[in-house]
Amino acid sequence: MRIETVLGDITKQDVDVVVNAANSSLLGGGGVDGAIHAAAGPRLLDACRELRADRLPDGLPVGHAVATDGFDLPARWVVHTVGPNWHAGERDTPALAACFLASLEVAVDLGAHSIAFPAISAGAYGWDVEEVADVAVHSVRAWQAGTDQDRGPDGRPHGIALVHFVLFSPQALAAFDRALAA
C-alpha cells in the first residue's frame, strides 16, 4: 500500500473513496463536509437523509463510518466519519484513530482500492494538525500491517493499494510529511 500526501482539494481526487469529515447529522456543514456536499450535488444530501431515516436516526457516532455514493464527485463513494471535537471536550486519541480505521474498513467492504483522507478533526473541530497527522499515519500504518497478508484467490494482495492524505494548507501538508517520515 502506498501512502502519499497531496496539497489540494479532496473533491477533485481521482480515487475510489473520499472520506468526509462529517458532523453527526450527516446533513452537511462547513469545511471539508460542506465542500464535499457542494461538489457531490444534492443527491448526496438525499442519500444522507435516507441513512438518517433508516439506519442512523440519532446520527453517526464519533469514530464510526458509513458510505454513500459519490454522485457528482470523481470518486465513486464517499465514506462519512465523525471526528472528535476538541472544542466540545472530545480529546480521546483512540476515537480519532477509529475514524481512520473505520473508514478503511468501510472502503474495503465497498471493494475500493484507493482512498483520500482529509485531516479529520484538524479544522473546525480544533485538534492540533501535528497530532492529527501522527494519529492518522500511525492508524493507517497499523491497519496496513494487519492486512498485508490478505490475498485474493489469484495470490495478489487485495484491498486498499493507495492512501492519499489530501491537505488544505502547506502547514498541514508539512505536518503529514513529518509524520510519514518518522
What is the rounded CA–CA span in Å between residue 117 and residue 164? 6
Count Cβ atoms below 10 Å from residue 146 Cβ, excluding itself. 10
Task: List helix spans (H) across 63-169.
Answer: 93-110, 129-147
Contacts of 160 (CB under 8 A, 6+ apart): 1, 104, 107, 108, 112, 113, 114, 115, 147
Is 33 assigned a catalytic role?
yes
Query: Among residues 33, 46, 148, 150, which one is catalytic?
Result: 33
Please state whether beta strands 17-22 and 77-82 pair in parallel, antiparallel, or not at all (unpaired).
Answer: parallel
Residues labelled as active-site residues:
33
